[in-house]
Amino acid sequence: MVSTMSVKSITSTANPQIKQIASLFVRKYRTQAKQFVAEGIRTLLDAQEQGFVPRTLVYLDDMGGNKHVERLRGAMGTKGSCLEVSRKVMEKLTGRGNPQSVIGIFDQHQGDLAGIAAHKAGIWVALEGVRDPGNLGTVIRTADSAGADGVILIGEVCDPFSIEVVRASMGSIFNQKLIRCSCDEFLVWRSKWPGMVVGTHLQAKQGYRAPKYRKPILLLIGNEQSGLPENMAKACDTLVKIPMRGRADSLNLAVATGVMLYAITDACG
Ligand code: SAM
């Protein structure tokens, strides 16, 4: 597809459009704009395959004419804008000395609990109070890898659209549905959810391979410091524990999610 969109060349870090994009690296402004930044040709091409087209495409001035950039521009049609920038500007935008050559500004995508149709649902992951962006990005990537439908973020959590989460998700942010809700909203929704809810808990009496897993299924994972709160644990159909055979008392939550998701997919097919 050949683009008909005009390209603006920018070499000044003081340019207002550059300042607006730079503001998306700050949670407050990102939330206000309901947009986020994703970096790298591979990620942007993956996004495009999932139907996500950037509002703004920014690329280094030596990338003009590059076939991947042309493909991304072509998909934008006449919508949005295209900025060709100097390395200095890209470094300022990404906060990196060795920046990616292409970044895209996307609308944030978010669903709600009511949109999870039980008859179509397969596997969902729910994280309570996740704080670490690296953990959240890794969970999104792992959920995508295991073929889950999406990730529910419960309570006070880190921003799923921060650059750290997007980077750690390695493009999977575009392939997972994301839902944010409060604990109360989750518990009300859960009381009507006909699927199986499995909680992971260090005090669980049974091992993680013991239950008869069946879809639709929701896997509930606790916070890094305090684990699953009691009301969340009580809302589960079953609690399971992954054996800890060494001296460590728990797994990193993203690792626990990976172990659980593959046990579930092995059991459910
Ligand atoms: N000190 C916390 C606690 O008491 O639960 C540790 C939290 S752990 C780092 C974060 C989450 O990962 C837990 O809430 C649980 O959902 C999951 N997790 C980690 N290790 C686990 C294990 N061995 N068995 C089951 N779940 C585990």
Torsion, Cα of 122, 126, 131, 133 (10° steps): 10
62 Cα to the center of ligand 1, angstroms? 47
Which residue, 175, 257, 193, 191, is CA-closest to 220? 257
Residue 24 beta carbon below 6 angstroms from any ligand 1 atom? no
Relative to the CA of 221, which ligand 1 atom is closest? 16
Q: In the structure encoding, which two tokens stand for residue 266, read together?
A: 């092995």
Ligand 1 pocket residue status of 228, Cβ below 6 Å: yes
Structure tokens at 177: 């549905």
C-alpha to C-alpha distance for 163 and 38, rounded to whole angstroms: 7
Contact assessment for residue 110 and residue 87, using Cβ atoms and an 8 Å cutoff: no
Q: pLDDT tens, position by position, for the chain (269 residues)?
A: 555 678 999 999 999 999 999 999 999 999 999 999 999 999 999 999 999 999 999 999 999 889 999 999 999 988 889 999 999 999 999 888 889 999 999 999 999 999 998 778 799 999 999 999 999 999 999 999 999 999 999 999 999 999 999 999 999 999 999 999 999 999 999 999 999 999 999 999 999 999 999 999 999 999 999 999 999 999 999 999 999 999 999 999 999 999 999 999 999 97
Q: By the 8 A CB rule, do 125 and 257 touch?
A: yes
CA distance 29 to 23: 6
Q: How far apart are CA 184 and CA 190, in angstroms?
A: 10
Place of tokens 């942010």: 173
CB 176 within 8 A of CB 151: yes
Ligand 1: nearest atom to the Cα of 199: 16
Q: Is the CB of 131 under 6 A from ligand 1?
A: no
Ligand 1 close to Cβ of residue 133 (< 6 A) = no
For ligand 1, atom 5: residue with the closest CA: 227
CB-ligand 1 contact for 250 (6 Å cutoff): yes
Residue 94 near residue 24 (C-beta atoms within 8 A): no
pLDDT at position 119 is: 78
Pocket residue to mutate for ligand 1, from 224, 253, 260, 264, most atoms within 8 A of Cβ: 253
Which amino acid does the sequence have at 147? G
Q: Which atom of ligand 1 is nearest to the CA of 243?
A: 23
Cβ 242 under 6 angstroms from ligand 1:
yes
Ligand 1 near 200 CB (within 6 A) = yes
Residue 139 near residue 112, CB atoms below 8 Å: no
Phi-psi region of 24 (alpha: psi -120 to 50; beta: other; left: phi over 0): alpha
Q: Where are the alpha helices (DSSP H) in the chain?
A: 16-23, 27-33, 41-49, 67-76, 87-94, 133-145, 163-169, 183-192, 230-234, 253-268
